[in-house]
Amino acid sequence: MSKTLEISDFEQELRDTLPETHRLLQSASLRVHPNVRRITLHGSRGPAGGYRDDSDIDLCLITDVDNVKLPRDELGHLLKSVIQTTLENSHCPVELDLVAAFDRNGCGLACFDVNSYDELRCEKEFKGCIGLYKIQKGFDGFVPPISQVSKWYPFLTIWNR
């Protein structure tokens, strides 16, 4: 397997606005696959707030994987490896709930470049335009293209390559 990247330099905004989540992620020795280019934090331990002590940490591993160049089975194998790399090599005190995102329609995933849906100016947006792969919480493979971009907000970018 390719060399993993250890994430220890989280964005300052995570430390400043969500110190408990930052502490948990810092202690996790979070490792990612080399195809991960950005990590975003979602859910109750993210900007949405309202977590309980037993809440998991919802992370989106945004990849640089080009789905056009890979056959679907190879793409699935690679994305599964992306998630497994983090699950098998990180030691978070709470459960990590991971999804791998890939560019499904050549938009560059610009939706993850802005802080709010109101700021998004994407002419290629449609329901299911973000490619998703998941192996936890009832999923094992590609998530059907049902997700709306607006539902991904709020989120916080916690790491960028």
- pLDDT per position as a tens digit, 53-81: 999 999 999 999 988 888 999 999 999 99
Would you say residue 2 has pLDDT above 70?
Answer: no
Q: pLDDT digits over 83-114, tens only?
A: 999 999 999 999 999 999 999 888 889 999 99
Q: Which tokens go with 90? A: 């990180």
Q: Which tokens go with 12? A: 């300052």
The structural domain count of the chain equals: 1
Closest CA to 159 of 31, 44, 65, 67: 31
Domain that holds residue 141: 5-160
Beta strands 36-42; 57-66: pairing state: antiparallel
pTM over 0.75: yes
Would you say residue 118 has pLDDT above 70?
Answer: yes
Share of the chain above pLDDT 90, in %: 80
